[in-house]
Structures are given as C-alpha cells and as structure tokens.
C-alpha cells in the first residue's frame, strides 16, 4: 500500500494559514490512525533532520508545539518517540485560522460613542501597523438601512475569524425594573455580542462603554475585558494601551 505523506507546518507565532502554507513545510507524516481528538502518525523525515529542527529543540524544553497538518487542521504534540519515528498529536484550536482583523460592533442610537471609539481604534491600529509583522485592519459591522439586522453566514464568519471582537456597550436608554433603573443597549450590538461570546475565546472580546446614563448594566461579563470611560480624553488615553495588551498574545 502506497504511503500518503502529509505536510505539516510548525506554528511558531501567529500567522494566517494562507501565508503559512506558502512557505516550505517543516515535517512529513504518514497517518497511522485518526481519532476524534487526536492523531497518531509515523514521521517520514530523517532523525538527524528532526533533531536539529527548531521545533524539536523547543519540544524537549517543554514548550507546547503546534502544527498545521494539511487536510486535518491544527494539532499539538502530545508525545514523540524519535527512535520509533512515532508521533502522537492532539486536536488544537489554532490562532492561525483567524484573520488579522478587529471586528467592531458599533451602535447607531448614540453615535457619539461609536464614532469616538472608531476614531481611537483606527489611530491605534495605524500605530501598531508601523512595526507589525502582519498588518491589522478594522472590520465594521454591517448595519442595514430601514431593515432589521439579519446575521448572514458571512457576517458570522467575520466575527468568528477576527482576532478581536470589540463592541460598543454604551447605554442608549434606560428602563425601570423592580423600581430600579436598568440600562438598555443597542439590540444590534447585543445580537453580535451574543454570538461572539459563543464563538470567541476569553481575551478576544472587549466591551467598551461611555458612562452617560445612570442604571444597572443588564448583564455581567466578569470573565471578559471591559473598559468604561467618562470622557473622550479617558478613551484616548486608555483604549490604545488596552488594545496593545490584548494583541500581545498574537506577537504581531
């Protein structure tokens, strides 16, 4: 039976998949068995070649080593036996499948806050791009005119594939609940935020707010990053540094 060699690319730092596959592969494998959460394979490369590779040196130092395997997706090494040329890998979500974009879910009911956030985000991204390996872009949510919001598969993909999801959670009005004022947010933002909470990892969501009305926030996002500001000056001072901190994990 002929051996079908699978190409594998070592993921050292964030880089989109479409760019990764343009460079030479780092490993050749012959799949022995495929499990729901893992993969066992024979290594086809020579021992000397593997032993001197950067990824193997980091593996024996105890680092998590991730690969993109053509036709199979993302994996991390669970165990490797260099003598028998066997490798065991576990399924892994790779940042490489994300696009170098920041998705901004803005609201139209109180335009002042979203316009300010957009202005500061665009300036901060331009600053990051001056020294970044991979340039970032700002993706704006679609807002249909005189029609209800319908999230298409393409729009959902934009949220799911973005490096970061940023939403304008500034209150647009208040209501009363049990004699206590309750803040109301843009319904469009809430729909997109709900999908982001479902599809994004912790650390990839940022909720921005301008403090303009008194009342209780309708939900608590304790495990996700939030920034609340009273003035435009506070936004200009705090948002760029927070954005850079959230982007550090991608080592742009």
Phi–psi pair at 169, nearest 5 degrees: -100, 25
Q: pTM of the full predicted structure?
A: 0.88
pLDDT digits (tens, 9 = 90+) for 181-211: 888 899 899 999 999 999 998 889 999 999 9
Q: What integer pLDDT is reported at residue 1 of this predicted model? A: 46
pLDDT digits (tens, 9 = 90+) for 29-80: 998 877 778 889 999 999 999 999 999 999 999 999 999 999 889 999 999 9
If you search the block for the tokens 């806050």, which residue do you land on?
Answer: 113
pLDDT digits (tens, 9 = 90+) for 88-105: 999 999 999 999 999 999
Within 10 angstroms of residue 157's Cβ, the number of other Cβ atoms is: 12
- Torsion over CA of 226, 231, 232 and 238, rounded to 10 degrees? -40
What's the whole-number mean pLDDT along residues 4-31?
92
How far apart CA 170 and CA 193 sit, in angstroms, is 13
């Amino acid at each position: 039976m002929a051996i079908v060699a699978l190409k594998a690319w070592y993921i050292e730092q964030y880089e989109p998949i479409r760019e990764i596959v343009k460079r030479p592969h780092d490993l050749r494998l012959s799949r022995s068995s495929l499990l729901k959460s893992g993969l066992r394979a024979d290594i086809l490369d020579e021992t000397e070649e593997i032993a001197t590779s950067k990824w193997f040196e980091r593996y024996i130092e105890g680092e998590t080593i991730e690969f993109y395997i053509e036709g199979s997706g993302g994996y991390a090494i669970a165990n490797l036996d260099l003598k028998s040329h066997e490798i065991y890998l576990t399924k892994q979500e790779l940042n490489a499948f994300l696009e170098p974009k920041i998705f901004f879910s803005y609201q139209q009911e109180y335009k002042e806050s979203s316009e300010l956030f957009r202005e500061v985000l665009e300036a901060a991204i331009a600053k990051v791009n001056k020294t970044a390996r991979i340039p970032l872009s700002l993706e704006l949510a679609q807002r249909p005119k005189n029609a209800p919001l319908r999230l298409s598969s393409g729009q959902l993909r934009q949220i799911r594939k973005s490096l970061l999801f940023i939403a304008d959670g500034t209150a647009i009005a208040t209501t009363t609940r049990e004699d206590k004022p309750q803040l109301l947010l843009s319904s469009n933002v809430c729909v997109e935020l709900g999908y982001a909470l479902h599809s994004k990892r912790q650390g990839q969501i940022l909720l921005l707010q301008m403090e303009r009305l008194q009342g209780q926030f309708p939900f608590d996002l304790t495990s996700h990053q939030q920034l609340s500001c009273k003035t435009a000056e506070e936004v200009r001072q705090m948002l760029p540094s927070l954005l850079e901190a959230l982007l550090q994990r991608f080592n742009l």
